[in-house]
C-alpha cells in the first residue's frame, strides 16, 4: 500500500506477483510489488465452442464432419483466462535519494526478479539433503553404472506464481510472454528506466491438480477458488439489481 500524501485520500493498493519458491524448506514467498499500477490491463476469456467439428476419413475413404460436442450447452471446463499488462520501472526517485541498489544497478534487480519467474527452480535444500542421506544409506549396494541408469532424468519446474490485483483477484498464473524495453541506462549501462510487457495465463483447477503435491499447490488452488467465489457473489449481486428491470421487459 502507498499513501499519496493527502490525509483523506484512500490508500492505494498495488498489484504484485508472488512466487512461491521451494528452493528452501517449504514454500517461501518472493513478492514482486508493482512500482506503478498499469494504467490499463487487457483480459480475455477463451469461449468453448460446442459446435466445433472436425473432418475425418472413414474406412471407405469418405470424408465426414464429426461434431465432438455432447450438447449445445456443453462446457467441459472453466474457460481459460489470460491477462496482458505493461509494468513501468523507473529508478529516478531512488537515485535522487542515493539508494545504493539503484545507484549500482538501476532497475536491473527488478527486471531480474521478473525474469527468474521464467527459469526452472533449482533442487530445494531439503531435497538435496534427503538425496545425500539416501545415497549414504544405500552406499555400496549397487554399482555406479546401475545407479546412473536407475536415476530419473530431472525435469525443470517453475515455481507456483500468484497474480494479485487487489483483494478480489488473486489467481495462480503462468507467464506466457515477456518483453523488456530498456529506455534509459546508467553510465555503466544498467537500465534505469524500462517497460516490461507481460502475458499471463490463469491456471485452472484441472491444470493445478496435475502439479506435484506441495503446500504451494494447495495455496494456488485456494486462491483460485477464492477468486472464483468472489466472481459468483458479484454476479449474484448483479442479478439482484436487475430483477425489476427484467420483469418489466418480458412480454409474458
Element (H, E) at 148: helix 144-150
* Cell 475425418, located at residue: 56
> In angstroms, rounded to a whole number, what is the distance separating the alpha carbons of residues 128 and 126?
5
> In angstroms, rounded to a whole number, what is the distance separating the alpha carbons of residues 41 and 154?
37
Q: Is 6 helix (H, G, I), strand (E, B) or coil?
A: coil
Which residues, at least 6 apart from 230, have a Cβ–Cβ distance to it below 8 Å?
168, 169
* Tens digit of each residue's pLDDT (9 = 90 or more) over 68-77: 656 777 777 8
Residue 27 — very low, low, confident or very high, per pLDDT cuts 50/70/90?
A: low
The answer to whether residues 244 and 250 touch, using CB atoms and an 8 Å cutoff, is no
Q: Give the number of other CB atoms < 10 A from CB of residue 184.
A: 13
DSSP symbols for 162-204 = EEE-STT-EEEEEEEEEEEEEEEE-TT--EEEEEEEEEEEEPP
Residue 159 predicted with pLDDT over 90: no
DSSP symbols for 42-66 = EEEEPPP-TT-EEEEE-TTS-EEEE
**Dihedral over Cα of 137, 140, 141, 147: its sign:** positive
Average pLDDT over residues 142-155: 46
Average pLDDT over residues 30-41: 93
What pLDDT was estimated at residue 250?
65
Residue 243 predicted with pLDDT over 70: no
The answer to whether residues 92 and 102 touch, using CB atoms and an 8 Å cutoff, is no
Q: For all residues of the chain together, what is the average pLDDT? A: 80
Burial-class residue 17 by CB neighbours within 10 Å (0-12, 13-18, 19+). Answer: buried
Q: What percent of the chain clears pLDDT 90, i.e. is strictly above it?
A: 47
Residue 142 predicted with pLDDT over 50: no
Residue 211: closest CA among 169, 165, 163, 172: 172
**Residue bearing the bigger pLDDT, 147 or 92:** 92
The gap from C-alpha 219 to its chain's centroid, in whole angstroms, comes to: 13
Residue 65 — very low, low, confident or very high, per pLDDT cuts 50/70/90?
A: low
Residue 35: closest CA among 99, 90, 95, 114: 90
* Cell 539503484, located at residue: 102
Phi, psi of 20, rounded to the nearest 5 degrees: -105, 90
b/e string for 72-98 if b means 16 or more Cβ within 10 A?
Answer: eeeeeeeeebbbbbebbbbbeebeeee
**Residue bearing the bigger pLDDT, 124 or 186:** 186
Amino acid at each position: 500500500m502507498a499513501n499519496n500524501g493527502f490525509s483523506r485520500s484512500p490508500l492505494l493498493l498495488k498489484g504484485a506477483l508472488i512466487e512461491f519458491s521451494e528452493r528452501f524448506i517449504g514454500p517461501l514467498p518472493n513478492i514482486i510489488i508493482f512500482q506503478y499500477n498499469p494504467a490499463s490491463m487487457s483480459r480475455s476469456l477463451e469461449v468453448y465452442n460446442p459446435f466445433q467439428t472436425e473432418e475425418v476419413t472413414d474406412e471407405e475413404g469418405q470424408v465426414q464432419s464429426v461434431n465432438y460436442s455432447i450438447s449445445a450447452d456443453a462446457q467441459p471446463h472453466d474457460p481459460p483466462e489470460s491477462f496482458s499488462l505493461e509494468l513501468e520501472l523507473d529508478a529516478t526517485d531512488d537515485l535522487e535519494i542515493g539508494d545504493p541498489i539503484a545507484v549500482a544497478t538501476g532497475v536491473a534487480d527488478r527486471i531480474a526478479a521478473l525474469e527468474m519467474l521464467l527459469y526452472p527452480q533449482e533442487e530445494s535444500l531439503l531435497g538435496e539433503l534427503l538425496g545425500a542421506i539416501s545415497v549414504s544409506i544405500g552406499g555400496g549396494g549397487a554399482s555406479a553404472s546401475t545407479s546412473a541408469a536407475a536415476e530419473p532424468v530431472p525435469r525443470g519446474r517453475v515455481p507456483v506464481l500468484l497474480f494479485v490485483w487487489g483483494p478480489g483477484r488473486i489467481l495462480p498464473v503462468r507467464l506466457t510472454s515477456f518483453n523488456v524495453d530498456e529506455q534509459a541506462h546508467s553510465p555503466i549501462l544498467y537500465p534505469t528506466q524500462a517497460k516490461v510487457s507481460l502475458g499471463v495465463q490463469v491456471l485452472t483447477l484441472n491444470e493445478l491438480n496435475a502439479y506435484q503435491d506441495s503446500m504451494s499447490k494447495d495455496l494456488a488452488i485456494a486462491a483460485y477458488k477464492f477468486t472464483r467465489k468472489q466472481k459468483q457473489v458479484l454476479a449474484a449481486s448483479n442479478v439482484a439489481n436487475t430483477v425489476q428491470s427484467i420483469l418489466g421487459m418480458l412480454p409474458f
